[in-house]
Structure 1
Amino acid sequence: MKTFKVLGGGCRNCEVTARAIEQAAKEAGVAIQLEKITDMAEILGHGVMSTPGVVLDGQVIHSGGVPAPDQIRAWMRD
């Protein structure tokens, strides 16, 4: 199971990112756990200065905007 965290204050881009990850996992048949992190101290603790940020299995893999669909699908394959 892959563990994702979407880091952000709950803005539209953060919500779009979370939904896109959920949809890509469903389409790929990959089990995921998705957590939305809105606490700024925790977000900054990951070193993310621009949201939304995405953490996969404890490692920051994206920050600063909505990731492209192809990029999200690649996270399901890796």
Structure 2
Amino acid sequence: MGLFFKKKNDAPQASCGCGTGCAAPVESGDTGRMVKVLGGGCAKCNQLEEAAKAAMTELGLTPEVDHITDFSQIAAYGVMTTPALVVNSKVVCYGRVPGKDEVKDLIRKGME
């Protein structure tokens, strides 16, 4: 009877995402950058990245944009349609390529 009623360990287990239960942290995709583009590297993703860099330059910010292409990291943001724009770890636009002026507004609102 001991097999069926084995007490579960209530302590949270560290997992690295590899399924082995090692103690390495799960990578969330956050590298500390404020603006990220999520997408596989297609032409639309590259257009969004360029629009984000141009918008950041006009806002007086350093035009550093992370381009995340790993689909497991993209899915961690809850995005199923790319390209997507992330500002301060929050998805602000996905599934389309906004223009530079709209990206400026999204970045401005995301910084608040």
TM range (shorter): 0.7 to 0.9
1:69 corresponds in structure 2 to: 100
2:24 corresponds in structure 1 to: none
Residue of 28, 52, 71 corresponding to 1:40: 71
CA distance in structure 1 between the partners assigned to 2:38 and 2:65 by the alignment = 11
Contact 1:30–1:76 (Cα < 8 Å) also in 2 = no
CA distance in structure 2 between the partners assigned to 1:20 and 1:67 by the alignment = 8
- 2:62 pairs with 1:55: no
Alpha-carbon RMSD across the aligned residues, in angstroms, is 1.5
CA deviations 1:2-31 (Å, max 9, x no partner) are 711100000000000000110111122123
5+ long unaligned stretches in structure 2: 1-32
* Pairwise CA distance, 1:32: 4.7
Q: Percent identity?
A: 36
| 3-state secondary structure, aligned to 1:54 | strand
So what's the TM-score if we normalise by structure 2?
0.63
Contact 2:54–2:100 (Cα < 8 Å) also in 1 = no
Contact 1:3–1:32 (Cα < 8 Å) also in 2 = no
Contact 2:92–2:106 (Cα < 8 Å) also in 1 = no
So what's the TM-score if we normalise by structure 1?
0.87
Greater helix fraction, Structure 1 or Structure 2:
1
Greater strand fraction, Structure 1 or Structure 2:
1
CA distance in structure 2 between the partners assigned to 1:69 and 1:62 by the alignment = 13
5+ long unaligned stretches in structure 1: none
Which range moves more in the overlay, 51-60 or 61-70? Answer: 61-70
Which structure has the larger Rg? 2
